Structure 1
Amino acid sequence: MSAFDAVLFDMDGVLVMSQYAHGWAYSQTFAKLGVTFTMEEYLQRGIGLSRPQVIQMVMGEHLSVDTFTHLMEEKVRFVSTYPEEQAVPTVPGAYE
């Protein structure tokens, strides 16, 4: 018999409020190009969109393949370096 009755895999927003890490990562990514994209903008317009959709929403659809690929990679890099002191909060009712 297994020690577990079930296993739950977290998708963004199920157990932790990961939108804050993603919003921060997008703001850092776009800032490197001199483009302002705030957390508030992400929370209002970006939640639920894929990474390509957010990039196209902010930068337009006429990016070079190289620029688009670079932005995709930078966003992933930034989200993985989200500052520990800005802990990602858990969704209310989720247990640690």
Structure 2
Amino acid sequence: MGKGRNRCAVESGFNLVTGDGRAEIEFEVNSTAYLAPNAVLMFDTLTPTDSAPHSVLKLLSGSLTLHVKTLFPSRDFQVSTPNDLIRLTYPKK
């Protein structure tokens, strides 16, 4: 069986492990994350806050590329890694 694209809904508490593959994660409001091979990403919190998405991710291992748009007031997007924290809030991009 060949490698293909799988789509599924992700919820708070889910983990995504790429193994030899890659993953593209689409969030609300045209934000996207690209996960490299051999990476582990934890979706710690995915909830609306004041009618705006609130996303807290933890990159446990591997590489992640982000394209985040914070178009709405109260939009909050966070990614923690073993060594750092990235936090984007409206109106930052």
On whether the aligned pair clears a TM of 0.5, the verdict is no
The alignment's TM-score, normalised by the length of structure 2, stands at: 0.24
- Which is richer in strand? 2
